[in-house]
Structure 1
């Protein structure tokens, strides 16, 4: 992917144009006195958007899920609980 380098003055005067290009997937390096100091890059979503109900009919919760019996007490708190 090609990356254009622009100086700070050009970036300030054409900021909206640069942002529009970055929205389309381009990357832009901003330099001061010929030295790169910053980069404009498109934001990539870190994960898929949640879809409520995506796991419906794929997960089953046992009827006794919330039950906490004597064996569970021993497992959690030890033999003398």
Structure 2
């Protein structure tokens, strides 16, 4: 990670943009304190290259659960999970 002052960033913005496009994160400081970070925009070539090969391996996760005797059925969250509760349920006193 590269750190530059605000004055340097103003003067060398094009060079910093090139570095960020290559995947580098640049921290811009004012009076020695971090003010902002320059990071690659989503969809840049550097970010796409970094994301390739990453992610959740769902099949491996299911295989791990099965090896531990945990079997999940499809749709483990109910379809009406976020539906409003019925009024009679809401008005019923607590036990």
Q: TM-score, normalised to structure 1's length?
A: 0.51
How many residues are treated as equivalent by the alignment?
43
The structure whose residues are more often strand, as a share, is 1
Residue equivalent to 1:17:
15
Partner deviation per Cα, 1:29-50 (whole Å, 9 max, x = no partner): 00000000000000123xxxxx
Ranges of 4+ aligned residues in structure 1 off by more than 4 Å = none
Larger relative contact order (CA 8 Å, sep ≥ 6)? 1
The structure whose residues are more often helix, as a share, is 2
Unmatched runs of 5 consecutive residues or more in structure 2 = 44-95
Greater Cα radius of gyration, structure 1 or 2: 1
State the Cα RMSD in Å: 0.7
